[in-house]
Structure 1
Amino acid sequence: MNYLSVENISKSFGERVLFDNISFGINKDQKIAFIAKNGSGKTTVMNIINGFDEPDTGQVVIRKNIRMAFLSQKPNLQDELTIEESIFASDNETLKVIEQYEKALQNPENEEAYQKAFDLMDQHNAWDFETQFKQILFKLKLEDFKLKVKSLSGGQKKRLSLAIILINRPDLLILDEPTNHLDLEMIEWLEDYFAKENITLFMVTHDRFFLERVCNEIIELDNGKLYQYKGNYSYYLQKKEERIASENASIDKAQNLFVKELAWMRRQPKARTTKSKSRQDDFYKIKAVAESRRKENVVELEINMERMGSKIIELHKLYKKFKDRVILDNFSYDFQRGERIGIIGKNGTGKSTFLNILTKTILPDAGKVVIGDTIKVGYYTQSGINPKPGQKVIDIIKEYGEYIPLTKGKIISASQLLERFLFDAKKQYDFVEKLSGGELKRLYLCTVLIQNPNFLILDEPTNDLDIVTLNVLESFLLDFPGCLLVVSHDRYFMDKIVDHLFVFRGEGVIEDFPGNYSDFRAYEDSAEPKNLSNVSTEKTNWKEKQVKEGLTFNEQKEFQKIEREIKDLEFEKKQIEQLFADGKVADDAIEKKANELQVIIKKLEEKEERWFELSSKME
């Protein structure tokens, strides 16, 4: 059953064409993710679907009597209402019955009103509904029903908007970045909820774990064109790679033909026959294809980072509390060269406060932070940048630096850095006020990186960034040679970037976990989890334990990295072998694929040999 159809819509702003003549449909039980670069039209498409904007051409057709709900990034709530009143401010008949019953409970002496409300609950089968909506509120930590909306934080308002939508159970739910401002526990609960419920979804999200577990179809808007993939995120990655390879092969053919046709065009006299005019028209079509090769933004920077001395950053017996809430309790840590630490924990456990103390933005109640003389901290906060009126993109970044030094005496200019983070030459001279929210975040990230820090602190760097930008950022950080400290709810990002975690448990308890987020999740879900030591009170942390077991800290990091690399190489090997087994390798590509396979096998043997070497030290 079709719920909604987008038919041949187009949208331009001045000379800039966002998209032209695109169409797609949303059918019952589909769970669709909508993917595109920041600034390419995601929000505009969402606004058109929701009736907040009009397309230049085309239309959106919605099935009659379909109940739609939209979760925007900016909640639309009434400040003077309480949480409870906000929930009941709905046309949902069952909710009205529950509201009447809740009021009757508050006046038990009015037996007649109570009995009437009780009977209505039975008639509308509202008991199960009441249980479900209270479970939703409990999971989203909205338990104080009497709190007014105006007293809620931004995250609480987002959770309340989400709760209202889930409780009303619309036929079609449209979500714009639903996991922003949710902690990991809530995100994982929401994943399970959407994965199990028969609910139709259309969403924009950068959370790739969420995409993997929830979505069964992905629609990508790329360079103004739509591409549809019937599968989850892994399937999308595989098929997109195949599509790009196919497109590039066609472009290569067109480029060869273009060279021949260009020579012909130059030889022709001005007067054209009908036949040559037709060939001339074909030439311009071939030229368009030949010049359409996509620019892949691969960030491979051998950064000439400032030398780090033996002292990085030392934390000595830090203590911090706000009123009765303890954030840090006698916490000590000595950062080592090349560490890549992720910070996780529920909202309100003090992650951002910890970063502010580390950067001396705020002071601890007790203890001290000692920063080495050679350390240059780059701090990406959630607050972003505040541009002056009339500033252009390139002007913003040049305020912080003109270039980053690379090895072998090379440099990368501010303009080149912007290009690597998807600001093309034209975009660099746009006024900052024209940028989307995600583009502003991307620009802010460039202002931090241009300062060439050797200790990089990122507080929720993935919020509002599109998946394309996330891949660019991950490539950059994988090459980053300094220390890295990251707070993020993006589990996919954390798995790729960090090698151990600070787990903020609340009440000043911080645990040091030796692994990435997936390792931690598996550990937490195990039948009998062991108690991890609190690094603020225990001297024997995991690094020291590994040394006792025979591996140094750097060897432990290498061991974990090799395990991941072996897994990736085995997957690549299996894919190529399957292509040969299925007979899907073209005759002219057999030699190339065979050589690729031999390179992979050789790398795999080298990695396995090193793995066994390190394993023997642990016995």
Structure 2
Amino acid sequence: MNYLSVENIAKSFGARTLFEDVSFGINKDQKIAFVAKNGSGKTTILKILTGQDSPDSGQVVMRKGIRMEFLSQEPNLQDELTVEESIFASDNDILKVIEQYEKALENPEDAEAYQKAFEQMELHNAWDFETQYKQILSKLKLEDLKQKVKNLSGGQKKRLALAIILINKPDLLILDEPTNHLDLEMIEWLENYFAKENITLFMVTHDRFFLERVCNEIVELENGKIYQYKGNYSYYLQKKEERVVAENASIDKAQNLYVKELDWMRRQPKARTTKSKSRIDDFYVIKEKAHSRRREHQVELEINMERIGSKIVELHKLNKSFHEKTILKDFNYTFTKGERVGIIGKNGTGKSTFLNILTQAIQPDSGKVVIGETIKLGYYTQNGIEVKPEQKVIDVIKEFGEYIPLTKGRFISAAQLLERFLFDRKKQYDFVEKLSGGELKRLYLCTVLIQNPNFLILDEPTNDLDIVTLNVLESFLLDYPGCLVVVSHDRYFMDKIVDHLFVFRGEGVVEDFPGNYSDFRIYEDSIEPVKEEQPKEKVNWKENQVRNGLTFQEQKEFQKLEREIAKLEQEKTEIEKLFAEGKLGDDEIEKQAKILQKVIHQLEEKEEKWFELSSKMEE
């Protein structure tokens, strides 16, 4: 069944034609990835599909009655609503039923309203839906439902927008970089969710593992034309290579790029569909495998950077905390020549803080960072580049350097480096303010590389970069002879680039794992079997009355108590936090102390009643 058809659309901005005569369709149950270079019109096409923009010619035809949702990179949420209110504000009949039920639980004295809400839950079979949406919120780490949108971080807003869309289960889901702002655990959960669900997807993503394991079709926009590939990422690479060869056998550079990428894909471990059957406890085997990856690479650039002395970077007994949150605890490490370290961990475990300590942008609470005299740091941060009015691309990079020296007296000029990172000679003389977000990131990367550092630190370098640019960056970094430290959620990128990992576990625990991300994932699965979350049983009090050992009214009270206890615990934590900060005046301390005493008393009473009812359920 066809959901949406794009028919001969074209779009230009001034004299520049982005694309013309573009046609493709989206059918039920297809999972399509949309691939294109930054600045070639991906975002424009997404806006045309979702009605936010219109083509200069052609049309988009959508099947009547189809519900479509769009996850943009900048979510459109109402600041004054809470997380819970934002979810219930969506146009979904079942959510409105659940909302009425939640309100009825808060007012148990109105038995008639509760009974009506309960019956509506039964009528719409909303119990399973409620369980599923709470699981989605849990997986996306949106536990505080009373927090206002205006107080959320950019990443939390993106996760909330994603949660709302997943909860509403539209017929057609259009996504713009859905894995941005998600940690690896969330990405893998979303990957498995999309792979299992019967859902129709059209998405832009640079995450190649995601492409490989979720998508069953690739639509590529190249030089203003559409190419379609009926398969996953590996299939796309193979057919792309064949097409490039057929179109022009002289395009050796493009051909070689895809040959290498395809070869890499073929050597990857299979998708993580089953757990490893035995524990991998010989780390030296993994370590040898990791180093063999580097030996397999054929060096092309032979960068001639400044000599690295015997002392590189040493970290001695580093400790760092923010309030009660521990980031590093007695952390020691000595970097060696040519080391390539990947850093992974959940959001909030301190990865970026570690990089800032490493570059001495912030100081540790105790311990010291010793940087060798010959070390020249290059630091690519998530902040990006500051755009100056009427500045041209080539001028930006020349501010930082004119060339990168190679062996045998050769060099790469600023213009050649820009060309390598897909800025052709004409583009180099464009004004910077005309660049897309991905092109700005690409330019910023070039400003870091042109300085020819011998110790390179990259914080999420793959965000907003297209797949072609990622291939170029990976090729450059494989040639790079210096030390490399990378924080990235891009598993494919990490697999190609790093030899070992710093795994940030939280609470100051940092483990050194001697392999890449796929090695780590296999090892983790082998020692810690994945526990599949089972859907909670439908909360149907009438059916469970005898088994639970509670009367109908007691069941209502039990559920109400759980909600009230959670609310009181949160209130207690917030008051204790105020005391810990030490900013309260004497009068305010006395006032808050009385409130805290009252909260604790109420909490004890409700917990005692909860335990009493809980024991009856177990009888």
TM-score tier, shorter chain, comes to: 0.7 to 0.9
What letter is aligned with 1:87?
I
> Any conservation in 2 of the 1:7–1:59 contact (CA below 8 Å)?
yes
Partners of 2:372 and 2:174 lie apart in 1 by 49
> Any conservation in 2 of the 1:297–1:421 contact (CA below 8 Å)?
no
Please name the residue that 1:414 is paired with.
414
Partners of 2:193 and 2:497 lie apart in 1 by 28
Residue 17 to residue 301, structure 1, CA distance change in 2 (3 Å): same
Matches within 5 A, 1:489-568: 489-527=489-527
Question: What SS does the corresponding residue of 1:526 show, helix, strand or coil?
Answer: helix
> Any conservation in 2 of the 1:297–1:420 contact (CA below 8 Å)?
no
What letter is aligned with 1:447?
T
> Any conservation in 1 of the 2:245–2:255 contact (CA below 8 Å)?
no
Please name the residue that 1:551 is paired with.
none
Please name the residue that 1:78 is paired with.
78
Please name the residue that 1:464 is paired with.
464
Give the Å deviation of 1:528.
5.4
Which sits farther off after the overlay, 480-489 or 11-20?
11-20
Partners of 2:385 and 2:238 lie apart in 1 by 36
What letter is aligned with 1:239?
K
Question: What SS does the corresponding residue of 2:12 show, helix, strand or coil?
Answer: strand
Question: What SS does the corresponding residue of 2:248 show, helix, strand or coil?
Answer: helix
Matches within 5 A, 1:31-180: 31-180=31-180
Question: What SS does the corresponding residue of 1:396 show, helix, strand or coil?
Answer: helix
Please name the residue that 2:312 is paired with.
312
1:464-496 deviation digits (Å, cap 9, x = unpaired): 000000000000000000000000000000000
Please name the residue that 2:372 is paired with.
372
Give the Å deviation of 1:412.
1.1
1:265-292 deviation digits (Å, cap 9, x = unpaired): xxxxxxxxxxxxxxxxxxxxxxxxxxx9
1:153-202 deviation digits (Å, cap 9, x = unpaired): 11100000000000000000000000000000000000000000000000
Partners of 2:91 and 2:339 lie apart in 1 by 53
What letter is aligned with 1:165?
I
Question: What SS does the corresponding residue of 2:395 show, helix, strand or coil?
Answer: helix
Partners of 2:387 and 2:133 lie apart in 1 by 43
Give the Å deviation of 1:295.
6.2
Task: Give unmatched runs, 5+ long, in structure 2.
Answer: 258-298, 530-619
Please name the residue that 2:246 is paired with.
246
Matches within 5 A, 1:219-618: 219-249=219-249, 300-527=300-527
Partners of 1:97 and 1:528 lie apart in 2 by 39
What letter is aligned with 1:85?
E
> Any conservation in 2 of the 1:297–1:422 contact (CA below 8 Å)?
no
Give the Å deviation of 1:237.
0.5
Give the Å deviation of 1:246.
1.2
> Any conservation in 1 of the 2:34–2:204 contact (CA below 8 Å)?
yes
1:307-342 deviation digits (Å, cap 9, x = unpaired): 000000000000000000000001010000010000
Question: What SS does the corresponding residue of 2:120 show, helix, strand or coil?
Answer: helix
Partners of 1:376 and 1:395 lie apart in 2 by 23
1:209-247 deviation digits (Å, cap 9, x = unpaired): 000010000000111111100000011011111111111
Partners of 2:107 and 2:395 lie apart in 1 by 65
Residue 438 to residue 528, structure 1, CA distance change in 2 (3 Å): closer
Question: What SS does the corresponding residue of 1:489 show, helix, strand or coil?
Answer: coil
Question: What SS does the corresponding residue of 1:85 show, helix, strand or coil?
Answer: helix
Root-mean-square deviation (Å): 1.3
Partners of 1:144 and 1:294 lie apart in 2 by 51
Please name the residue that 1:543 is paired with.
none
What letter is aligned with 1:434?
K
> Any conservation in 2 of the 1:317–1:367 contact (CA below 8 Å)?
yes
Question: What SS does the corresponding residue of 2:135 show, helix, strand or coil?
Answer: helix
1:24-52 deviation digits (Å, cap 9, x = unpaired): 00000000000000001111111111111
What letter is aligned with 1:248?
N
Please name the residue that 2:11 is paired with.
11
What letter is aligned with 1:463?
N
Residue 427 to residue 97, structure 1, CA distance change in 2 (3 Å): same
Partners of 2:524 and 2:246 lie apart in 1 by 43
Query: Alignment identity in percent?
Result: 82
What letter is aligned with 1:427?
K
TM-score by length of 2: 0.78
1:374-411 deviation digits (Å, cap 9, x = unpaired): 00000000000102111110111011011111111111
Which sits farther off after the overlay, 425-434 or 238-247?
238-247
Task: Give unmatched runs, 5+ long, in structure 1.
Answer: 253-291, 530-619
Question: What SS does the corresponding residue of 1:311 show, helix, strand or coil?
Answer: coil
Question: What SS does the corresponding residue of 1:7 show, helix, strand or coil?
Answer: strand
Partners of 2:528 and 2:186 lie apart in 1 by 23
